Amino acid sequence: MAWDMTRPVPWQRLMREWLIYAAIMSVVFLLLFNDGNTIGALAGVLVSGPLYLGFGWVLAKFGYQRKTLKELRTPQAESTSASGDDATGSTPERRTVAPTSRTAGGGNRPPSTKKRRR
């Protein structure tokens, strides 16, 4: 997609995601760097905030928008609502696949041989 300055940026979502990341990584760094080098690790986490928000802003202006967890859990509900099939109430039908030699749907199985009794 092309750059569009009128596209909205989901600032609340970006801030919430970064705050969750910063909290988790701060705890991890506090547990791992207990030798006195925690200030540098925490400074790195704080520096990552503006970088994350800047990249999120640029990606939003290009039209990138990640799906939410709710959308990931119900991908079929979104795809049917986007195509307008919900109004009719019908479920989408599956197409039948053409038979091939590997699926044995083409009727090209060798005839079974009868076993002899001894």
d(CA 50, CA 11): 12
**Residue 3: its pLDDT value, please?**
84
- pTM, rounded to two decimals: 0.57
DSSP state of 7: S
Q: pLDDT band for 12, please (50, 70, 90 cuts).
A: very high
Mean pLDDT score across all residues of the chain: 80
Say if residue 55's pLDDT is above 90: yes
**Residue 39: its pLDDT value, please?**
86
Say if residue 82's pLDDT is above 60: no
Name the more confident of 106 and 35. Answer: 35
Report domain extents, the chain.
1-10+34-64
Specify whether the CB–CB gap between 21 and 46 falls below 8 A: no
